[in-house]
Amino acid sequence: MINLLIAEDQAMLLTTLASLLDLEDDIHVVYQASNGQDALNFIRDKDSQNVDLIVTDIEMPKLTGIELAQAIKKHPLDIKTIILTTFSRAGYLRRAMDAGIKGYLLKDSPSDELLKAIRKVAKGGKIIAPELIQNAWMEVDPLTEKERRALRLAKDGATTEQIAEKLHLSAGTVRNYLSSASSKLDASNRIEAARIAHQNGWL
């Protein structure tokens, strides 16, 4: 039996996907998380059921799917991760691979492909949507993790002071990160830098 956790911030998709997968004889959905932090909290809870595999979206509040995979790899937890997303950007796939994910599929893939991927990854395999592989290493992500976090908050409209408070940094340090990111992306300001980074899958 494959004990599965699903992390998805779109409620209707989350419940539909969970219902579909739970119909399979060899798959049991143990938890439905509405964001990455919710999923990580459940995994870390000693009283939680065992989780073998996670199917997660990328862009979610509080903690993205890639950040969730990074946290699992860092600790480390013996849990495999599959990304299921609408985003085919090469930057996302590169970061996901670096985070140790074992599968990367697009949401418009047929449901049987997801089932095959879950079973293959559960057995120790790896599966990446073939149309994404070629472009994944064409462009190198120029941002540091701190620059990325600052830009993500700037993209959401946070001020320098708000970013500094959330990242536990000084306002001057945040300005330096945003300025460095803008320079690397040849952007005239933080908003343009965030837009460029997001388009390339670097946020």
Q: Tell me, what CATH number does 14's domain have?
A: 3.40.50.2300
Is pTM beyond 0.85? Reply is no
Claim to verify: residue 120 and residue 185 sit in the same structural domain: no
Give me the amino acid identity at 36.
Answer: G
- What confidence score (pLDDT) does residue 76 get? 76
Q: In terms of domains, do 14 and 97 share one?
A: yes
Last residue of one domain, picked from the residues 136, 169, 188: 136
Cα within 13 Å of Cα(118), Cβ side: 27
Same domain, 124 and 190: no
Tens of pLDDT, residue by residue over 117-161, are 999 999 999 998 776 665 555 567 788 989 999 999 998 889 999
Count of domains observed in the chain: 2
Question: Quick one: pLDDT at residue 82?
Answer: 96
Q: Which residue has the tokens 């073939």?
A: 130
C-alpha to C-alpha distance for 190 and 187, rounded to whole angstroms = 7
Q: Are residues 55 and 121 in the same domain?
A: yes
Residues 131 and 183 in one domain: no
| 45 & 71 share domain | yes
Chosen domain end from 96, 114, 136: 136
Q: Which residue has the tokens 């079973």?
A: 119
Residue 50: predicted pLDDT: 85
- Encode the chain (203 residues) as per-residue pLDDT tens digits: 999 999 999 999 999 999 999 999 999 999 999 999 999 999 988 655 689 999 999 989 889 999 999 999 888 788 999 999 887 776 788 788 889 999 999 888 888 889 999 999 999 999 987 766 655 555 677 889 899 999 999 988 899 999 999 999 999 999 999 999 998 888 888 998 988 888 777 88
39 and 88 fall within a common domain: yes
User: Residue 149 belongs to a domain with what CATH number?
Assistant: 1.10.10.10
My answer on whether 151 and 129 are in the same domain is: no
Q: Are 105 and 122 members of one domain?
A: yes
**How many whole angstroms from its chain centre is CA 130?**
19
186, 142 Cβ separation under 8 angstroms: no
Same domain for 124 and 191: no
**How much is the pLDDT for 133?**
62
Same domain, 150 and 74: no
- So what's the pLDDT on residue 49? 63
Last residue within a domain, chosen from 106, 136, 166: 136
Question: What is the residue range of 162's domain?
Answer: 145-199
Q: Is there a single domain that holds both residue 167 and residue 188? A: yes
